[in-house]
Amino acid sequence: MTSPLTLSFGSDHGGLALRRGLIAALKAKGCVILDRGTETEASCDYPDYAHAVGADVIAGRARFGILVCTTGIGISIAANKMAGIRAALVQSADAAELSRRHNDANVLCFGAKYVDLPTALACAEAFLAAEFEGGRHSRRVDKMESCG
């Protein structure tokens, strides 16, 4: 018997509604969710949520993370500052799948201004279904991990 997939979620106020929608949809598909907030539309700082989700992934509490802010840009930059995190900002299922297959991404990021719930869910499903291909991509991922 395999254990359910655990995902860590975070967003700032700009990503609150999309994060909640994704959580509900992925919970319904059997995923275990670690929800790191935010819980209100009051202005807050996206790096706090990127770091909380990144810490879950690095520590192995979650297999993957999903982050949302207004554009997705700030929260993906903040997540990528953490050693061991490879966060991909995507707007299509194809890009989400390739971020796993070619880059071994472990955090998926969205901009709520640019991606609606059906698109974000399709991206998340493609991301979660894909496997890292290794091979020539491993060499590139190793180079990314040695930066900084």
The confidence score (pLDDT) of residue 43 equals: 97
Q: Which residues are catalytic?
A: 69, 102
Domain chopping of the chain, boundaries:
6-146
The confidence score (pLDDT) of residue 133 equals: 76
3-state helix, strand, coil in the chain (%, to 5): 50, 15, 35
**Dihedral (CA of 76, 72, 67, 135) sign:** negative
The confidence score (pLDDT) of residue 35 equals: 98
The closest of 30, 12, 3, 13 to 125, measured between CA atoms, is 30
| Residue 82 in tokens | 């953490």
The closest of 141, 129, 49 to 94, measured between CA atoms, is 129
Instruction: Report H helices in 29-135.
Output: 46-59, 73-80, 93-103, 117-129
Which residues are within 8 A (CB) of 101 and not within 5 positions of it... i.e. 6 or more apart?
Answer: 130, 131, 132, 133, 137
Which residues are within 8 A (CB) of 36 and not within 5 positions of it... i.e. 6 or more apart?
Answer: 8, 9, 10, 49, 52, 53, 56
The confidence score (pLDDT) of residue 1 equals: 55
**In 3-state terms, what secondary structure has residue 106?**
coil
Task: List the pLDDT tens digit at each of the 148 positions of the chain.
Answer: 578 999 999 999 999 999 999 999 999 999 999 999 999 999 999 999 999 999 999 999 999 999 999 999 999 999 999 999 999 999 999 999 999 999 999 999 999 999 999 999 999 999 999 998 777 777 777 777 777 5
Q: How confident is the model over 7-37, as pLDDT tens digits?
A: 999 999 999 999 999 999 999 999 999 999 9
pTM score, whole prediction = 0.95
The confidence score (pLDDT) of residue 3 equals: 83
Q: What is the CATH topology of the domain spanning 6-146?
A: Ribose 5-phosphate Isomerase B; Chain: A, (3.40.1400)
